[in-house]
Structure 1
Amino acid sequence: MARGGALIMMNGAPGKEVWVAINTTWNIFNFRRSLIAALREAGFRVVAYAPPDDYVGRVETICSRYIPMQLDNASTHPLRELTTLWRMVRLLRLEKPALLLTYTPKVNIYLALAARVWGIPVVANVSGLGFGFAADGGVKRIMLALYRIAFLSPKRIFFQNAEDRATFLDAELAKEAQAALLPGSGVDVSRFSPRPKVRDDGTFVFLMVSRLIWEKGVGEYVAAARLLKADFPSVSFRLLGFLDVLSPSAISRGEVEAWVLEGVIEYLGHSDDTATAYAETDCVVLPSYYREGVPRTLLEGASMGLPAITTDMPGCRQAVANGETGLLCKARDATSLAEAMRRILLMTDDERTAMGTKARARIVREFDEKIVVARYMEVVKGILGEAQR
């Protein structure tokens, strides 16, 4: 693997270069493969631009080439961040891509600023508002100022829920003509389709799939599990997701190990094969109070015919039709979460199955990733077609 800005060349389709830029190659490989395939099929050369991690090799197999991004996701040091921005400005001057497709806050902001210097068109994706909008004081003010400047130039800004779009429009961070809605990141409804239950031991399984940071509601999930264990000792509360996340609010490995030793949760580690984990599950749980776009785990679980429990928060509530495909609970409230989980446990098998069937139908109708890919292809072809005229 090349580092320090060196390029990794691959055989790619001829044509204009479209860059897909995100803060992890894991994200590119797991969530943008279908878009990349559609772009390459249309004749574009697709470049992955992201910090190197364990997924670089896999990203190399699906893109025309890969460029390592030098980005510290957790940094707020002004000089370090200005250096990162300057590197991007220099790289774009050398490479001159035809179009940038950007995701995640820092990447959206910095590449919009850098691309503006050279007149390179950008399509940004606001997949939730994250930590910055939840913070108070200086961090939030700086983020708002950066968005206000950076988002003057993108040709299109995709939002994953209407509340985030309204937030940006009300704060004058984006213009009405730029701001468009997508149904989250979509989900592959063929890969995530209902399967017969893998296990047959009668154990009821709740599953939470998430990065292990506090804002995702992991602490509330554990606390709710404790509340329910006395009445439902055989119920399994499973947790799947990355440990050692580079975040100031990361949950430590020691804390997770303590919960496992206590017997309150089963930690499954991390897996790219989440479909198998869902196939062993009866209900998906995500008690997030992070400002989500539309959480992928809720879409995946619903696509597999599972009911879900999540918080009545922007992004989360868009993924669940309360009382029909799952249940909503209060954010940061383990008691409310436990009550919703208890309601699911006390339902009959037929009632839960009916809820899951409605969840699957809604996903196929509204959240199929083909809808997302089609919207992107329409915008990409429109922008690059304009550039040729």
Structure 2
Amino acid sequence: MVLTVNAAWNIWNFRKPLVQALLDDGHRVTVLAPHDETVPLLEGLGCTFVPLEMERKGLNPLSDLVLMRRFRNHFGELAPDLVLSFTIKNNLFGAMAARSAKIAFIPNVTGLGTAFLGGRWLQAVAEKLYRTAFRRLPLVFFQNADDRDLFVRRKLVKPAQASLLPGSGIDLEQFAEAPFPCAGGPTRFLMIARLIRDKGVFEYIEAARKLRTEGVAAEFHLLGPLGAENRTAIDAGQLREWQAEGIIEYHGTTEDVRPFITDAHCVVLPSYREGAPRTLIEGAALGRPAVASDVTGCNSVVEEGVTGLLCNVRDALDLAEKLRDFAALTREAQAAMGGAARSRMEREFSVDVVIQAYRDAIDTLGV
């Protein structure tokens, strides 16, 4: 069995329980992805790793045709009985290669990316690729109902193909509920994301600037990598300006987000569109409420007024209002939202649901 994704760390950080379950079931698991520092960790689990050369950003006909040929060559050499795929290019060009090699293929639509935010022409190209790649697949997993319904409505998949998952699931033991920081002092907001425009970083900065000007007792923290391979990436110079202005505290990157979330009162994600935002799910599992944009993905995790607050997308003023409203709550009210968020993760987002869905799919395919 092959699992393919656009970064090995994605498997380690988000799919490790699934990988472990597949290994426990007796499957031989090969990870096909670009090499990074998590490869030894994956091999330590019992996986085989095969490096995949690919350009992760943008749609380029020439490089994407080369990528499809690479997939076809890898599948021919590995001869898997099943390929499980995650992330856009692996889903699209992996599916096309698997079809030509007559190999079973199950993609997981973890999000639609900038192609569905970049205008009608780019979206039309993306839809044509999806329609071609997914046409004959027996099953396509989606991480939120809006994406599933969009694909069905646009005839990119048939209703019988589409199956819904609660994101990639969350390990509720690894992300155990943490005591809420109820001491006095400022409300600590934390945004965890790649530093790209489409995650709403600029809106977060503008909202933080406004609240600091108003004298609201709040801190604004930012955690996530610079240098993302994305056309909306934010450069280091811009980040240094924000730091010099004293708007945010930037914490770089980390292998373990739990201490940062535990120290915060609220997780913030004003993204333009998501699949199933991992940071909101991890925050909720640890018992932290959220302020997020009212868009696909975010609003499937955050329940307005119960587990957090939703703001208008691309609207820094409305985000500032929601952050102000949250900061004005008593610590007890904030903690109650966090408790409700944890309870929802226990009911709906356990990784066990995801693992069972994959086991059922594998059984159906007779692999």
Alignment of 1:1-389 (within 5 A): 18-196=1-179, 202-232=185-215, 234-289=217-272, 291-385=273-367
1:369 and 1:212 map into 2 onto residues whose CA distance is: 27
SS across alignment from 1:145? helix
TM-score by length of 1: 0.91
Would the aligned equivalents of 1:112 and 1:153 in 2 still touch at CA under 8 Å? no
Q: Which runs of 5+ in 2 are unaligned?
A: none
Would the aligned equivalents of 2:175 and 2:286 in 1 still touch at CA under 8 Å? yes
2:180 and 2:325 map into 1 onto residues whose CA distance is: 21
2:57 and 2:142 map into 1 onto residues whose CA distance is: 23
1:122 and 1:325 map into 2 onto residues whose CA distance is: 36
Q: Which runs of 5+ in 1 are unaligned?
A: 1-17
Would the aligned equivalents of 2:92 and 2:130 in 1 still touch at CA under 8 Å? yes
Would the aligned equivalents of 2:58 and 2:230 in 1 still touch at CA under 8 Å? no
Q: Deviations over 1:188-210 (max 9, x none)?
A: 11121222357967332100000
Which residue identity lines up with residue 247 of structure 1 in the other structure?
N
Q: Deviations over 1:74-114 (max 9, x none)?
A: 24332222111112112212221010000111110101000
Would the aligned equivalents of 1:98 and 1:384 in 2 still touch at CA under 8 Å? no
Would the aligned equivalents of 2:139 and 2:162 in 1 still touch at CA under 8 Å? yes
Q: How has the CA–CA distance of structure 1 residues 60 and 116 changed in structure 2, closer, same or farther, with 3 Å as cutoff?
A: same
Q: Alignment length, in residue pairs?
A: 367
1:233 and 1:338 map into 2 onto residues whose CA distance is: 10
Which residue identity lines up with residue 375 of structure 1 in the other structure?
A
Would the aligned equivalents of 1:22 and 1:50 in 2 still touch at CA under 8 Å? yes
Q: Deviations over 1:159-193 (max 9, x none)?
A: 11111111111111111111000111111111212
Which residue identity lines up with residue 312 of structure 2 in the other structure?
K
Q: How has the CA–CA distance of structure 1 residues 80 and 279 changed in structure 2, closer, same or farther, with 3 Å as cutoff?
A: same
2:50 and 2:366 map into 1 onto residues whose CA distance is: 22
Which residue identity lines up with residue 4 of structure 2 in the other structure?
A
Which residue identity lines up with residue 337 of structure 1 in the other structure?
L
SS across alignment from 1:71? coil
1:66 and 1:340 map into 2 onto residues whose CA distance is: 45
TM-score by length of 2: 0.96
Between 1:272-281 and 1:69-78, the stretch displaced more is 69-78
Which residue identity lines up with residue 366 of structure 2 in the other structure?
L
Would the aligned equivalents of 1:47 and 1:63 in 2 still touch at CA under 8 Å? no
Q: CA RMSD in A?
A: 1.5
- Corresponding position of 1:13: none
Moved over 6 A (4+): none
State the percentage of identical aligned residues: 40
